[in-house]
Amino acid sequence: MVSGKHKSRSMRRVFRRTPGGKTVMAFKKRKPSKAKCAGCGKVLPGVPRERPHKMQNMPKTAKRPQRPYGGVLCSSCTRKKIIEKARK
């Protein structure tokens, strides 16, 4: 039976197989929302959706694209911004 604090759906339910062969329900915190472009609101590809402790252990290069505004703006918005700067 689920204990009281786990009855709400604020935690996600994950099925885990124990070494003994049983399938057990584990409760985990939900993942944060997907990273979005600050310009157009598109979902940013190349930015992982993980909890902070996992993000901490990841290398910097795995966390965002290797370009100016990487992880903040999408590629098309970055292009627009750079072209705007160049034409001024």
Partner 1 sequence: MIEVGRLCVKIAGRDAGLKCVVVEVLDKNFVMIDGQTRRRKCNILHLEPLGQVVKIKAKATHSDVVSEFKKLNLEVKETKPRKAAERPKKARKKKEEKTEELAKKVSKAEKKKEKPAAKKEEKLESEIPNSRKKK
d(CA 44, CA 5): 34
Q: How many residues bind partner 1 (CB under 8 A)?
A: 11
The closest alpha carbon to 64, from 33, 35, 30, belongs to: 35
Nearer to partner 1, 11 or 75 (CB): 75
Cα–Cα separations (whole angstroms), residue 81 to 50, 69, 76: 28, 10, 9
Query: Binding to partner 1 by residue 68, rule CB under 8 A?
Result: yes
Shortest distance, position 75 Cβ to partner 1, whole Å: 7
Binding site residues, partner 1, CB under 8 A: 66-68, 75, 78-79, 82-83, 85-87
